[in-house]
Amino acid sequence: MNDGQQSLLLSSSSRFSPPQGVKLSYGTAGFRADASLLPSTVYRVGILAALRSLKTGSIIGLMITASHNKVSDNGVKIADPNGGMLSQHWEPFADALANAPSPQHLLLLINEFVGKEGILMDGVSQAEVLLGRDTRPSGDALLEAARQFHGDKCGGLGAVFMDMLKTLMMLLKAWFLKYLQLPLWLDLFAFSHYDNNTVGVVGAVATDMGILTTPQLHWMVRARNKGMQASEQDYFEQLSSSFRCLKDLIPAEKSKFDGLNNKVIVDGSNGVGGVKLKVLGSLLNALVIEVRNSSEDGGVLNDGVGADYVQKEKVAPHGFGSKDAGIRCASLDGDADRLVYFIVPPESSGRIDLVDGDKILSLFAVFIREQLSFLNENEGIKNSHQARLGVVQTAYANGASTNYLKQLGLEVNFTPTGVKYLHEKAAEFDIGIYFEANGHGTVLFSESFVGWLETRTKEISSGSNGLSSGSEGKKAALRLLAVSKLINQAVGDALSGLLLVEVILQYMGWSIHRWNELYHDLPSRQLKVKVADRNAVITANAETVVVSPPGLQEAINAETGKYHQGRCFVRPSGTEDVVRVYAEASTQEAADTLANSVAKLVDQFLGLGSS
Ligand code: G16
């Protein structure tokens, strides 16, 4: 960095002091904490985003959200050029930046990192960052912190005004230097170094994309870097047109299935997803989407509502009850990157039948496997491509779902919790389906397979491969291509996931009950334990084994061994200050007892001394 850049950085960072006595970590999905602790972290992640953009020569996303956490929390995470999560290679730098005790330390860290990574900060290379936030009340102020390091994209009259201001400042600067010899004032004029339409320390431009779902921002970053149109309207247009395409490819006899209605009721978690889903729903005529708990209803974000609550507690969210018995219901989380379905039984007293991320994965797997078999059976398709289909789960996947997927003949892979791990693994396949039980997941298509599908579907249209126009092989290729456009290729996306579930159910002619019968979940229970230091728990083997503290895993094993079909693991959360406990057994009572016993063990080994 040149002197002007350094002094501007020092002066702006001194306005964002890090909180005392708090150690922040990039965690499972970015930094998360009580919003009052975050301004300095968000300011510093703004710097990281600009550096990442300079390093990659691409557009980077910065999202202010704490997703499923309570409303008083907030968070910040980065979307990499492909729309995925920040490269794990940069996470230690993110941690170091967030925890640097003073502006001088911060400057030192940045200079070191910039040198090590060979990042060019010449004020000519330009960084571009897209900013988004969810509906949390603290989002606006945090977004301002994120853009301190950046200039605004400034066109038209704004650009003319900036030009005039810049010229004026340069004249003033020359005058100050010549007559008053006050080099300190240089700080104020540092921005006169920068490019026409931008002001910012390294020529970084920030574009505020407004209130968005997290997956929308990831989608926009990916689309922009691929040179595609990437407005919110483009997002809605791509999803709705792909949905319509898939709907038109449903065989007539299947769409007449009368056990299925075309209505779904969605709990929006009082977050950003409900409003966006209403817009999307208005573009579709083959599906009726009723949204409850949208952010316009005045309810509290993630409080007794939302995918996390529904999945963990297995109860109906606020506003749902026995009046909804038999209707397909779904729930999003606060930033709409998770989706679960549920059924309210007629006499429910609040309990629901959960149709979780594992079942969404299974539904997608059944459909895609069928389309691939249509392709492979069709000799009219030249150079048939044996697409590799793989699925990815975490230790939270219900054991019954894993057995079911294996019985389908699928390759099932496991990674630690966190979309960043699942996504990376799924990207190894031609079609990789990944889902966490909590409803976070998507279907990835390799570029080579999409290219192959595009070529085949063009050949089919021109008749050059001899396929009859109505053949299942042709339709399968068109369906898979439409799925690759509908389902978010950047990250798990509840809105696109919901449309894919809905159109597959219509294609299959399945009710939600029929879908839920694919297999029967083993009873399970999840608990949270507050401990003195959750990072004292170190795990291995995709989080199934505790390595530290010594003796805890042996104690868990001894407890688990007492239960038929017992399975249990513990891991530190990366988004909340707790240790999570997951237990599975042959009865609900047994799963509950096992989870409670292991929670007590965690407390004994690491707790606050409460038991
Ligand atoms: C984030 C991650 C998910 C993870 C979840 C819970 O979800 O993106 O991959 O499953 O946190 O993580 P942990 O158990 O470590 O707290 P979200 O929807 O909150 O962004």
ipTM of the complex: 0.95
Give the atom of ligand 1 at the shortest distance from the alpha carbon of 396. Answer: 10
Q: Ligand 1 site: residues with CB under 6 angstroms? A: 28-29, 67-68, 333, 337-338, 417-419, 436, 438, 440, 573-576, 580
pLDDT band at 255 (very low <50, low <70, confident <90, very high): low
Q: Tens digits of per-residue pLDDT, 462-505?
A: 655 555 556 788 899 999 999 999 999 999 999 999 999 999 99
Q: Whose CA is nearest to atom 6 of ligand 1?
A: 575
Q: Are 280 and 239 in contact (CB under 8 A)?
A: yes
571 labeled binding residue: yes
436 labeled binding residue: yes
- Interval between CA 29 and ligand 1 midpoint (Å): 6
Check pLDDT > 80 for residue 224. Answer: yes
Check pLDDT > 80 for residue 185. Answer: no
580 labeled binding residue: yes
> Which alpha helices (DSSP H) does 561-587 contain, by range?
none
Residue to probe by mutation, ligand 1, list 417, 435, 531, most atoms within 8 Å of CB? 417
Check pLDDT > 50 for residue 414. Answer: yes
- CATH fold label, 214-521: Alpha-D-Glucose-1,6-Bisphosphate; Chain A, domain 3 (3.40.120)
Task: Collect contacts of 279-283 with beta carbons under 8 A, ≥24 apart.
Answer: 279/236, 280/236, 280/239, 280/240, 280/495, 280/499, 283/236, 283/237, 283/240
- Interval between CA 533 and ligand 1 midpoint (Å): 19
pLDDT of residue 346: 87
The dihedral of CA 507, 509, 511, 514: what is its sign? Answer: negative
User: In angstroms, what CA-CA distances link 455 with 94, 381, 446, 462?
Assistant: 42, 10, 14, 11
Element housing 437 (H / E):
none
Q: Tens digits of per-residue pLDDT, 68-77?
A: 999 999 999 9
Identical fold, 214-521 and 524-606 = no
pLDDT of residue 211: 97
> Encoding tokens for residue 50?
């600009």
- Interval between CA 296 and ligand 1 midpoint (Å): 25
How far apart CA 461 and CA 535 sit, in angstroms, is: 57
Which of 111-115, 170-174, 263-267 shows the lowest per-residue confidence on average (mean pLDDT)? 170-174
Average pLDDT over residues 95-112: 95
Q: Tens digits of per-residue pLDDT, 422-459?
A: 999 999 999 999 999 999 999 999 999 999 999 888 87
Average pLDDT of the chain to the nearest whole number: 88
pLDDT of residue 261: 76
Q: Whose CA is nearest to atom 14 of ligand 1?
A: 573
> Encoding tokens for residue 264?
């779904």
Residue to probe by mutation, ligand 1, list 438, 442, 495, 570, most atoms within 8 Å of CB? 438
Catalytically annotated residue among 53, 67, 242, 295: 67
From the list 112, 70, 118, 72, the residue with the least C-alpha distance to 93 is: 112
User: In the chain, what are the domain boundaries?
Assistant: 3-153+198-211, 214-521, 524-606
Q: Are 221 and 144 in contact (CB under 8 A)?
A: no
- Interval between CA 440 and ligand 1 midpoint (Å): 8
- What is the domain class of 524-606 according to CATH? alpha beta
Give the atom of ligand 1 at the shortest distance from the alpha carbon of 335. Answer: 18
pLDDT of residue 470: 63
Average pLDDT over residues 264-281: 97
- Interval between CA 574 and ligand 1 midpoint (Å): 7
347 labeled binding residue: no
Lateral strand order in the sheet of 389-393: 411-414, 389-393, 431-435, 441-445
Residue to probe by mutation, ligand 1, list 31, 414, 440, 491, most atoms within 8 Å of CB? 440
136 labeled binding residue: no
Q: Whose CA is nearest to atom 4 of ligand 1?
A: 418
Average pLDDT over residues 134-156: 80
Q: What is the CATH number of domain 3-153+198-211?
A: 3.40.120.10
Give the atom of ligand 1 at the shortest distance from the alpha carbon of 338. Answer: 18
Residue to probe by mutation, ligand 1, list 76, 575, 580, most atoms within 8 Å of CB? 575
- Interval between CA 150 and ligand 1 midpoint (Å): 29
Phi and psi of 485, rounded to 5°? -90, -30
Average pLDDT over residues 577-588: 95
Residue holding tokens 């019985």? 407
Which of 81-95, 155-169, 463-477, 482-496 shows the lowest per-residue confidence on average (mean pLDDT)? 155-169
Give the atom of ligand 1 at the shortest distance from the alpha carbon of 337. Answer: 18
pLDDT of residue 523: 95
> Encoding tokens for residue 205?
């431009």
447 labeled binding residue: no
pLDDT of residue 349: 80
Check pLDDT > 50 for residue 188. Answer: no
pLDDT of residue 297: 81
99 labeled binding residue: no
Which positions ≥6 away from 491 have C-beta within 8 Å?
79, 83, 84, 85, 214, 215, 218, 219, 337, 419, 423, 442
Residue holding tokens 């810049």? 166
- Interval between CA 575 and ligand 1 midpoint (Å): 6
Phi and psi of 101, rounded to 5°? -70, -25
Give the atom of ligand 1 at the shortest distance from the alpha carbon of 65. Answer: 20
Element housing 518 (H / E):
none
Q: Is 524 a catalytic residue?
A: no
> Encoding tokens for residue 431?
């079609």
Rg (CA), the chain: 26
Give the atom of ligand 1 at the shortest distance from the alpha carbon of 333. Answer: 18
Lateral strand order in the sheet of 59-64: 31-34, 73-79, 59-64, 127-133, 204-211, 151-152
How far apart CA 585 and CA 570 sit, in angstroms, is: 15
Q: Are 151 and 198 in contact (CB under 8 A)?
A: yes
User: In angstroms, what CA-CA distances link 557 with 125, 446, 601?
Assistant: 56, 40, 11
Q: How many C-beta atoms lie closer than 10 Å to residue 277's C-beta?
A: 25
